[in-house]
């Protein structure tokens, strides 16, 4: 098979989540952080023919970049990557060395907050968090408005940066660590559950992100 540009883009983005990956047979690619605070599930535009455990995904992608348009042949314990007279054998890792997402579908216990977030808004808030040297962002409901903010939850008197993203009758502060937002630059439909999980659904990819235990939610 040849890895499509779409598949390669997904895999490159997944290197920020986990250095390793299990490519499972089919058209769905998943990964999870070692801390299990972020799960990513992408639908790709091609079929993976069989399972393959890749221990160092960045290294594998770098090997592919040595070729212009390589063929990748799947065997039980390795790939053969080839183009013309060039050939690379890439040996799979043992499955025990890979952090893999749960096989069962993930369900959100309750949709306490639902809001749309554009790629530009998320990028600007994450950039602001970096400039302000904060490690958190928060979805905040106050005075009838919903905001996405860069915050320091440990300091009520700290600076913040926010963008209005909707309206709400509820009051809440749903906090997420910026380290858990290694997402592709897409527009997202976001579902927040006060019980500790959030869902970011974009075109072709869905992320499940842990919510910080300091989060609060009061339904009006």
Instruction: At 107, list the tokens.
Output: 């369900």
pLDDT in tens, 46-58: 999 999 999 999 9
How much of the chain, in percent, has pLDDT values that exceed 90? 92
Which band of pLDDT confidence, cut at 50, 70 and 90, is reported for residue 1?
A: very high
Residues 6+ apart with CB under 8 A from 7: 29, 44, 45, 46
Handedness of CA 33, 137, 207, 192 (dihedral sign): positive
Residues 101-121: b if buried by 16+ CB within 10 A, e if exposed: beeeeeeeeeebbebebeeeb
Beta strands in the chain (DSSP E): 21-23, 26-32, 38-48, 52-54, 71-74, 78-83, 86-91, 113-117, 136-142, 145-151, 161-167, 171-177, 188-193, 197-202, 205-210, 216-218
Torsion of Cα atoms, 129 then 119 then 196 then 98, to 10°: -90
Identical topology for domains 5-97 and 113-218: yes
Which residue matches tokens 């993976």? 48
As a whole number of angstroms, the distance between CA 44 and CA 26 comes to 9
- pTM of the predicted model, to two decimals? 0.94
Residues 6+ apart with CB under 8 A from 96: none
Which band of pLDDT confidence, cut at 50, 70 and 90, is reported for residue 220?
A: confident
pLDDT in tens, 181-210: 999 999 999 999 988 999 999 999 999 999
Fold of 5-97: Proliferating Cell Nuclear Antigen (3.70.10)
- CATH 1.10.620.20 holds for 113-218: no
184: nearest Cα among 206, 162, 163: 206
pLDDT at residue number 103: 87
As a whole number of angstroms, the distance between CA 1 and CA 43 comes to 17
As a whole number of angstroms, the distance between CA 214 and CA 146 comes to 18
Write down the domain spans for the chain: 5-97, 113-218
């Amino acid at each position: 098979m040849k890895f499509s540009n779409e598949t390669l883009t997904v895999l490159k983005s997944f290197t920020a989540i986990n250095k390793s990956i299990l490519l499972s047979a089919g058209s769905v690619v998943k990964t999870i952080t070692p801390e299990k605070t972020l799960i990513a599930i992408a639908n790709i535009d091609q079929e993976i023919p069989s399972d393959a455990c890749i221990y160092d995904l960045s290294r594998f992608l770098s090997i592919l970049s040595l070729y212009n348009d390589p063929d990748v042949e799947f065997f039980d314990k390795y790939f053969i990557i080839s183009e013309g007279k060039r050939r690379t054998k890439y040996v799979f890792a043992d499955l025990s060395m890979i952090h893999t997402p749960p096989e069962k579908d993930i369900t959100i216990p309750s949709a306490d907050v639902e809001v749309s977030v554009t790629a530009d808004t998320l990028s600007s808030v994450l950039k602001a968090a970096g400039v302000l040297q904060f490690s958190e962002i928060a979805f905040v409901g106050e005075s009838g408005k919903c905001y996405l903010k860069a915050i320091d939850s440990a300091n009520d008197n700290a600076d913040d940066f926010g963008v209005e993203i909707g309206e709400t009758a509820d009051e809440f502060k749903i906090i997420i660590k910026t380290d858990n937002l290694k997402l592709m630059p897409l527009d997202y439909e976001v579902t927040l559950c006060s019980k500790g999980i959030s869902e970011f659904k974009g075109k072709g990819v869905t992320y499940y992100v842990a919510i910080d235990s300091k989060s609060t939610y009061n339904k009006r």
